[in-house]
Chain A
Amino acid sequence: MNPEKAPIIQMKDIQKHFGSVIALAGVSVDVFPGECHCLLGDNGAGKSTFIKTMSGVHQPTHGEILFEGKPMHFNDPRDAITAGIATVHQHLAMIPLMSVSRNFFMGNEPERKVGPIKFFDHEYANRVTMEEMRKMGINLRGPDQAVGTLSGGERQTVAIARAVHFGAKVLILDEPTSALGVRQTANVLATIDKVRKQGIAVVFITHNVRHALAVGDRFTVLNRGQTLGTAQRGQITPEELQDLMAGGQELVALEGSLGGTV
């Protein structure tokens, strides 16, 4: 897409075997800064295994990961986070009982020294949280508002804003829209657009073709642990994507009987 840019992360011929099960049979994907790379695939296609390999949860059985042109080996998710690869999970990202600002800085608390004692700098945390949320288009009642009072889409946005604030270069979004309503999905997609414009690479995992086409620059389809190729925006129709995801033939037959509604 942008020939002057080098890919920030390159996954080369990644294979992952779990015992006798081949979850990934040689997947290659390049992700560029400032692009939204959609990773599509049906359930069991290997999406989760692939992004877990990218974020350091799994080590590949075979293959190479290049990060900013250099070979990288992530032993655990911490390594990946330190390098600048942040994953936002659909669940397990926010603690509903805690305030937005406490959640935002969880694990990265700002501190202010008073004499020999270090205190949590609530003033700074609150200010930054409000600012970052406003940038993402969410107006909080206050930084002490509990995350539990936010909608699902807003929670995703807080998690994304947090990852961006703490210097993510690659943002992996694991099915961020799968449990959301129409309006909330639109909000999350708009957030993805904003993040991409800041030059951050977004890896957007979804099985919803329409969500992918709304923001995606490039589309990689996984099927049964293999890539069926990467397509650029404008080179592929929703129907073609849908077909690729389902592995072609069967869906065509199915679609005929359902009157083209899938």
Chain B
Amino acid sequence: MQDATKPTAQTDERIKEISAFRKALIRPELGGMVGTIAVFTFFLLFAFDSGMFSSQGIMNWSIVSAQFMIIAVGACLLMIAGEFDLSVGSMIGFAGMMVAIFSVTFGWPTWIAILVTFALCIAIGALNGWIVIRTGLPSFIVTLAFLFILRGFTIFLPQVIERKTIIGGIKDVAEGDWLAAIFGGKILQGAFVWLGDAGLIATFERGTRKGQPVVDGIPMLIVWALVLIVIGHILLTKTKFGNWIFASGGDAEAARNSGVPVNKVKILMFMFTAFCATVFAMCQVMEFGSAGADRGLLKEFEAIIAVVIGGALLTGGYGSVLGAALGALIFGVVQQGLFFAGVESSLFRVFLGVILLGAVILNTYIRRIITGER
């Protein structure tokens, strides 16, 4: 018996040596990286003079990308844990509407309105997860139900309470509120004034704001996106909980046999997805100053597309937050870039479809190399 092990103890002659370069390259984010480079190359070549890469242009597609990133981080971790949330878009609309009703209609201090909205939405996320776990139904169906339930309430509540579907005036009530500033404020304004004075970025040339930079700071939306990406990435790859997320999505039964609290992990990820959707809603409401019943439409699919472009496996157990963030960046840059390039906007979908297909084919190939799937 001892002899039988000896051949395997030496290196197996049937396994090819993989070069360090190839090894560094073969990672879940590769598809997202290639896509990002391709998209930037394309727009640098064809839309360089369009203003897309001026300070306002960069801010424009950065904000759109950051929006996608915020919901993509939640969707990514949830998908790796083996579940979907199709109610993200409706949750965005619902969260925005609730904070507007609480602060404008009820007249609560904005920070209380925001905290209550967060608590409510995260509780709905937990309910989503609890139903999925208890019934054993596919999360696809359960959250599809919540897509309609939440959207229905988002349209119904303001009509009953205010007799309209858009509630405005949030900017006025949120003025000077400390928590509202964390979602609607801007940072590094001084640096942008300095950059404007130094002539490095565009400034207004006439009007009351003459001399001030056109882009006057980094919106908190972008800060939130970056913070969530960093936290999500560290959580997934560098902590015990991250290992549980992979395990829960990879094979829930095997994970349970090894003592991983799979149900807890999945419910927490539903709650985190709801949290991300609420962050998105708060930033949007504070920026626009109003909440509309149609906000966040189709966002759940855009988040899932970004995550899939980023290399995650639809069936769970495999993926990367950095990849999802790159997927969101590709999404944002393409959407805004085609506008800058003067391309007919309907072609956006064609372009997106091509990128989605290309990235997914590349990702499938990479994943097979890494995981030995057949």
Give A204 Cβ to nearest chain B Cβ, in Å: 13
Is B372 within 8 A of A146, CB to CB?
A: yes
Residue of B nearest to A146 (CB): B371
Q: For residue B5, which residues in chain A have a CB less than 8 angstroms away from its CB?
A: 136-137, 187, 190-191
| Set B8, B243, B317: member contacting A97, Cβ < 8 A | B317
B residues within 8 Å of A by Cβ? 1-2, 4-6, 8-12, 15, 18, 238-240, 242-243, 246-247, 250-251, 253-255, 257-260, 313, 317-318, 370-373
Q: What 0/1 readout, one digit per residue, does chain A (173-207) give for beta carbons within 8 Å of chain B?
A: 00000000001001101110100000000000000
In the bound assembly, the distance between CA atoms of A187 and B318 in angstroms comes to 30
Q: A89-B257, A107-B255 are in contact. Are A96 and B1 (CB under 8 A)?
A: no
Is B239 within 8 A of A120, CB to CB?
A: yes
What 10 additional pairs, Cβ within 8 angstroms, besides A78-B259, A120-B243? A93-B257, A95-B247, A96-B250, A98-B317, A106-B247, A118-B240, A139-B12, A149-B371, A186-B1, A187-B5
Q: For residue B247, which residues in chain A have a CB less than 8 angstroms away from its CB?
A: 95, 98, 102, 106-107
In the bound assembly, the distance between CA atoms of A183 and B247 in angstroms comes to 29
A-B contact pairs, 21 of them (CB 8 A): A78-B259, A92-B251, A93-B257, A95-B317, A96-B372, A97-B313, A97-B317, A98-B246, A106-B254, A107-B260, A122-B238, A137-B5, A137-B6, A138-B9, A139-B8, A146-B372, A154-B8, A186-B1, A190-B5, A193-B1, A214-B1
Q: For residue A138, which residues in chain B have a CB less than 8 angstroms away from its CB?
A: 8-9
Is B372 within 8 A of A119, CB to CB?
A: no
In the bound assembly, the distance between CA atoms of A89 and B317 in angstroms comes to 20
Q: For residue B9, which residues in chain A have a CB less than 8 angstroms away from its CB?
A: 134, 137-139
Residue of B nearest to A192 (CB): B1
Q: A95-B250, A106-B258, A120-B238 are in contact. Are A215 and B8 (CB under 8 A)?
A: no
Residue of A nearest to B257 (CB): A92
Interface SS of A by simple majority: mixed
Is A102 within 8 A of B257, CB to CB?
A: no
A residues within 8 Å of B by Cβ? 77-78, 81, 89, 92-98, 102, 105-109, 111, 118-120, 122, 134, 136-139, 141, 146, 148-150, 154, 183, 186-187, 189-191, 193, 214-215
Q: A97-B317, A146-B370, A148-B373 are in contact. Are A190 and B255 (CB under 8 A)?
A: no
Q: For residue B4, which residues in chain A have a CB less than 8 angstroms away from its CB?
A: 183, 186-187, 189-190
Residue of B nearest to A182 (CB): B4
Q: For residue A149, which residues in chain B have a CB less than 8 angstroms away from its CB?
A: 371-372
| Set A96, A108, A183: member contacting B259, Cβ < 8 A | A108
Q: For residue A107, which residues in chain B have a CB less than 8 angstroms away from its CB?
A: 247, 255, 258-260
Q: For residue B254, which residues in chain A have a CB less than 8 angstroms away from its CB?
A: 92-95, 106
Q: A106-B247, A107-B255, A108-B259 are in contact. Are A120 and B242 (CB under 8 A)?
A: yes
In the bound assembly, the distance between CA atoms of A214 and B2 in angstroms comes to 12
Q: For residue A119, which residues in chain B have a CB less than 8 angstroms away from its CB?
A: 238-239
Is B371 within 8 A of A139, CB to CB?
A: no
Inter-chain contact count A-B, CB under 8 Å? 107
Is A98 within 8 A of B1, CB to CB?
A: no
Q: For residue A94, which residues in chain B have a CB less than 8 angstroms away from its CB?
A: 254
Give A140 Cβ to nearest chain B Cβ, in Å: 10
Residue of B nearest to A189 (CB): B1
Is A141 within 8 A of B255, CB to CB?
A: no
| Set A78, A97, A105: member contacting B250, Cβ < 8 A | A97
In the bound assembly, the distance between CA atoms of A93 and B12 in angstroms comes to 24
Residue of A nearest to B317 (CB): A97
Residue in B238, B242, B373 with the greatest tally of chain A CB atoms within 10 Å: B238
Q: A120-B238, A120-B240 are in contact. Are A98 and B253 (CB under 8 A)?
A: no
Q: For residue A154, which residues in chain B have a CB less than 8 angstroms away from its CB?
A: 8
Is B370 within 8 A of A95, CB to CB?
A: no
Give B373 Cβ to nearest chain A Cβ, in Å: 6
Give A216 Cβ to nearest chain B Cβ, in Å: 12
Is B1 within 8 A of A106, CB to CB?
A: no
Q: For residue A120, which residues in chain B have a CB less than 8 angstroms away from its CB?
A: 238-240, 242-243
Is B242 within 8 A of A96, CB to CB?
A: no
Give B98 Cβ to nearest chain A Cβ, in Å: 32
In the bound assembly, the distance between CA atoms of A151 and B156 in angstroms comes to 57
In the bound assembly, the distance between CA atoms of A189 and B1 in angstroms comes to 7
Give A147 Cβ to nearest chain B Cβ, in Å: 8
Is B239 within 8 A of A118, CB to CB?
A: yes
Is B251 within 8 A of A109, CB to CB?
A: no
In the bound assembly, the distance between CA atoms of A120 and B247 in angstroms comes to 14
Residue in A137, A193, A214 with the greatest tally of chain B CB atoms within 10 Å: A137
In the bound assembly, the distance between CA atoms of A180 and B197 in angstroms comes to 73
Give B15 Cβ to nearest chain A Cβ, in Å: 6
Is B371 within 8 A of A97, CB to CB?
A: yes
In the bound assembly, the distance between CA atoms of A91 and B251 in angstroms comes to 11
Q: For residue A102, which residues in chain B have a CB less than 8 angstroms away from its CB?
A: 243, 246-247
